[in-house]
Amino acid sequence: MSDGIQLPPSLDLPPHLSAHKYFFVCTLTVAAWDTLVLSPRAWRLLRTKEWPFLKIAFHFLRFFMPVEFTIVGVAFFDTKWSQDTCEKFFLFEPICTAILLAVCSTVHVIRIHAIYEKSRAVLIGMGSLLAVQIVVTAICCGFFRNTPLLEGQGCIASPKHNWVGIYWLSATLLYTASFALALIRSFKSLELKPITYWKLMLRDGLNLYGAIWLVNMVNMIYWFVITPTGIEDPVKTIVTSMAAVLTTSMTLRIILSVRGSLVRGGSFAVSSSSHPSRSGGTLSAGRPQPTNQILSLQQPAPATYAVPLGNKERGEWVAGDYDGKNSVNDNKEGVYAIDNPADPANLGVKITVDTETDYENFARK
Per-residue burial over 177-213, b if 16 or more Cβ lie within 10 Å, else e, is bbbebbbebbeebeeeeeeeeeebbebbbbebbbbbb
Q: pLDDT for 180-218, tens place per residue?
A: 999 999 999 998 888 999 999 999 999 999 999 999 999
Quick one: pLDDT band at residue 264, thresholds 50, 70, 90?
A: confident
Cβ proximity of 165 and 236 under 8 Å:
yes
State yes or no: pLDDT of 101 exceeds 80.
Answer: yes
Neighbours of 96 (CB within 10 A): 19
Q: Cα–Cα distance between 71 and 95 in angstroms, integer?
A: 13
Q: Could you tell me the pTM of the whole model?
A: 0.72
Q: Give the pLDDT mean for 161-170.
A: 94
Quick one: pLDDT band at residue 131, thresholds 50, 70, 90?
A: very high
DSSP string, 44-97: HHHTSS---HHHHHHHHHHHHHHHHHHHHHHHHH-TT--HHHHHHHTTHHHHHH
Quick one: pLDDT band at residue 308, thresholds 50, 70, 90?
A: low
Q: pLDDT for 14-69, tens place per residue?
A: 888 888 899 999 999 999 999 999 999 999 999 988 899 999 999 999 999 999 99
pLDDT score, position 167: 96
> Which amino acid is residue 358, in one-letter code?
D
Q: What is the 3-state secondary structure (H, E, C) of 150-216?
A: CCCCCCCEEECCHHHHHHHHHHHHHHHHHHHHHHHHHHHHCCCCCCCHHHHHHHHCHHHHHHHHHHH
